[in-house]
Amino acid sequence: MPAYCSIQFLTGLPGSSFILSRQPNLLPLRAASWKPIPLTSKGVKMELTVTRPDDWHLHLRDGDLLQAVVPHSASHFGRAIVMPNLKPPITTTAAAVAYRESILKALPPNNGFDPLMTLYLTDNTSPEEVKLARRSGVVFAVKLYPAGATTNSQDGVTDVFGKCLAVLEEMVEQSMPLLVHGEVTDPNVDTFDRERVFIETILAPLVQKLPRLKVVMEHITTMDAVRFIESCSEGQVAATVTPQHLFLNRNSLFQGGLQPHNYCLPVLKRETHRQAMVSAVTSGSRRYFLGTDSAPHERRRKECPCGCAGIYNAPVALSLYAKVFEEAGALDKLEAFTSFNGPDFYGLPRNTSKIVLRQSAWRVPESYTYASGEIVPLFAGQTLEWLPSNS
């Protein structure tokens, strides 16, 4: 086991008679783990100490929703790449600086969480804005949303190779990473094929045209994306992976009725894709890192006739990632994924503080109430197995 990952086996702890390894409405990663496992019969419980993770893809929103959600991310993550798809979107460095201030104000006292800001790319973003962003010291990437692909993407890009080329060339000069929502928006393309078609028609040609552009393909969902990422130069093109895309397949959208809280974009895919992603992420490759894509929407905006895409996973993400690595027999690779590969790719220092993940059952709240309503987290009301804490 590498020296960086400290795993302790604790034996005979009280109160650990049963850990629900997997809930009935989750898909088994291994058939054997489908049933509750009496942990005491094994007599072993694990405790993992890892370098504090960062979240390289996070939606923090604004206003009272920001106030409600930021403590969940800030309690265990050191930094987060903050998505710019607000209304109106964060298209300028000045707006990013102001947004950062409002995030810092919403933090719990004495919390060192560091929001790393991004700009929202439009057809009209200027190369000058990229220079300003780099000089600001607070903007770390530019996000490409194909216009109409997802929440608040209506001001996104319609012409990557035409109107955006000059700005992308400036990003190469400034070593400013491009973060990509990798889905085409053509209504004639099947929803489940949108990522693959994006890779074929936009992303692969883009990487070929600008081989020195640093690119993060965000929230990958398919074996096509895994193959693409593996085909690119390491350190040049990387991918974030969410807990839901590692843990669930598209059956979970329909299990026992329509499940709006499992709906996100890109939408969950079939089981073979999930397995390819688990293999890639748990292989120890440096090309993949943690990005939750935690995307809260008020309950009524999810449970309605035209529900919003977005899964609120900030409170459960670390538990789920740990479970995926555990079931793949790759807990020794977890820390690189959660805490090393991201900062290494962005050229930032790794965090120095640690967190602890204990293999101990905990119950996810049914919802979180805030000034304007409620947010329902992923796996609301269910028992998860790995509990993060600061010591």
What is the tally of helices (H) and strands (E) in the chain? 14, 14
Q: How far is the CB of 30 from ligand DOR (least distance, A)?
A: 28
Residue 80 burial by CB count (10 A; 0-12/13-18/19+): exposed, middle or buried? Answer: buried
| CA gap 81, 195 in Å, rounded | 22
Nearer to Zn ion among residue 293 and residue 326 (C-beta): 293
Residues 6+ away with beta carbon under 8 Å from 147 = 153, 154, 155, 156, 157, 158, 185
Beta strands in the chain (DSSP E): 6-10, 45-51, 55-58, 79-82, 114-120, 139-144, 178-180, 215-217, 237-241, 288-290, 354-363, 368-370, 373-375, 383-389
Half-sphere exposure (CA, 13 Å, Cβ side) for 374? 12
Span near Zn ion by CB under 5 A; candidates 38-46, 158-166, 288-296, 363-371 = 288-296
Question: Which of 150, 249, 294, 360 lies at the binding interface for ligand DOR (CB under 6 A)?
Answer: 150
- One-letter amino acid identity for 76? H
Is 72 tagged catalytic?
no
Q: Which of 45, 76, 181, 333 is catalytic?
A: 181
- Using Cβ positions, the residue closest to Zn ion within the complex turns out to be 293
The two tokens of residue 56 are 């390289």
Contact status: 183 vs Zn ion (CB under 5 A): no
Span near Zn ion by CB under 5 A; candidates 62-70, 200-208, 248-256, 292-300 = 292-300
Q: Look up tokens 């994306």; give the residue.
A: 225
Which does residue 309 touch among ligand DOR, Zn ion, none (CB within 5 to 8 A, set by kind)? Answer: ligand DOR
Q: Which of 57, 76, 214, 333 is catalytic?
A: 57
Is 273 tagged catalytic?
no
Is 155 tagged catalytic?
no
Span near Zn ion by CB under 5 A; candidates 5-13, 293-301, 325-333, 378-386 = 293-301
Nearer to Zn ion among residue 218 and residue 224 (C-beta): 218
Q: What is the CA radius of gyration of the chain?
A: 20
Nearer to ligand DOR among residue 15 and residue 305 (C-beta): 305
Residues within window 156-195 making contact with ligand DOR, judged by CB under 6 A: 181
How many residues touch ligand DOR under the rule CB under 6 A: the total is: 10
Nearer to Zn ion among residue 224 and residue 293 (C-beta): 293
26: left (phi over 0), alpha (psi -120 to 50) or beta: beta
Q: Decide if 276 contacts 222 (C-beta within 8 A).
A: yes
Helix (H), strand (E) at residue 97: helix 93-106
Please state the φ and ψ torsions of residue 183, each to the nearest 5 degrees.
Answer: -140, 135
Is 59 tagged catalytic?
yes
| CA gap 42, 16 in Å, rounded | 11
Question: Which of 65, 238, 265, 281 lies at the binding interface for ligand DOR (CB under 6 A)?
Answer: 265
Q: How far is the CB of 297 from ligand DOR (least distance, A)?
A: 6
Q: How far is the CB of 320 from ligand DOR (least distance, A)?
A: 16
Contact status: 293 vs Zn ion (CB under 5 A): yes
Contact status: 295 vs ligand DOR (CB under 6 A): yes
Q: Where do contacts with ligand DOR occur on this chain (CB under 6 A)?
A: 59, 85, 150-151, 181, 264-265, 295, 309-310
> Which residues are the active-site residues?
57, 59, 143, 181, 219, 293
- Interacting residues with Zn ion (CB under 5 A): 293
